[in-house]
Amino acid sequence: MQQVSAQGFDVPAIGYGTWQLRGKECREGVAHALSVGYRHVDTAQMYGNEDEVGQAVEGSAVARSEVWLTTKLGLGNMAADAVKRSTEESLSKLRTDYLDLLLIHWPSQDTPLAETLGAMHELRKAGKVRTVGVSNFPPSWQEAALRHGPLLTNQVEYHLYLPQRPVLDLCADHDMVLTAYSPLARGRVLDDPVVREIAESHKVHPAQVAIAWVLSQGPVTAIPKATAPERIESNLAALEVSLSPDERARLDELGEGATGRIIDPPFAPDWER
């Protein structure tokens, strides 16, 4: 499995995203992903599926030590005591005694970053989590968070129509990984004529081209979601797609001036800051 390195940690370049997956569908998706070679699984307290993810990881033939397991703090779990309590609950549901990565899922307007990150770094020093990071943090929030200790990643929406260059540059400057969620823009990029033309020339699925572009941008990992076994396998095979400089340049142009943000809930931060 291709990996991205930062701060002495190796993160599998493609992970299995579990947002909106529940019950049997989630368990079977994670189990199949692990069986075909995925070694990176992403979940969150807000997803309500940590128990299913934990069952699949525990039941897999893959050793826990070989799986990079990420979860994220829910919006109501940002105070120091809630960080510690909810992380213990996540560990129990996930059937593990440590997390590879714990993230702040969304910036909080109510709890100071210093309090949340302070508790997260305490968990890191105690061995409950190996690394900490943030998610959905615009550049100014990311810079503020970095004042409170090292961060391994900022997990953000990132795809051909939303290239996120300022966030990527910050990650590169601070030896961080950018984790790309929704790398297929919820399927929107799959019908793009440029993507389809390049995919046809490589004899691959358009999703593989879109994911390969994301991974070519720098210190980036991607966590596409899929439920059909063939799509789970196809996404992983994006690691085998090598784009030429000309192809990357053509794909780069798709994000110029684009307003391709899809994930923008009412509690989202000011993305321009």
| Dist. CA 248–CA 202, nearest whole Å | 13
Alpha carbon distance, N-terminus to C-terminus of the chain: 35
**Residue 154: in which H helix or E strand, if any?**
strand 153-157
- Residue 187, C-beta contacts closer than 8 angstroms, at least 6 positions apart: none
Q: Are 1 and 12 in contact (CB under 8 A)?
A: yes
Q: Are 98 and 86 in contact (CB under 8 A)?
A: no
Q: Which of these is catalytic: 38, 47, 158, 161?
A: 47
List the chain pLDDT tens, one digit each, 273 residues: 899 999 999 999 999 999 999 999 999 999 999 999 999 999 999 999 999 999 999 999 999 999 999 999 999 999 999 999 999 999 999 999 999 999 999 999 999 999 999 999 999 999 999 999 999 999 999 999 999 999 999 999 999 999 999 999 999 999 999 999 999 999 999 999 999 999 999 999 999 999 999 999 999 999 999 999 999 999 999 999 999 999 999 999 999 876 689 999 999 998 877
* CA-closest candidate to residue 17, choices 268, 244, 236: 236
Both tokens of residue 151?
């961060």
Orientation angle between helical segments 245-252 and 206-215, nearest 10 degrees: 90
What's the CA gap between 255 and 273, in Å, rounded? 19
The pLDDT of residue 38 is: 98
| Residue in this structure with the two tokens 């550049």, named with its chain if needed | 139
Is 47 assigned a catalytic role? yes
Q: Give the angle 202-208-213 at the CA atoms, nearest 5°.
A: 95
- What is the rounded CA–CA span in Å between residue 152 and residue 132? 6
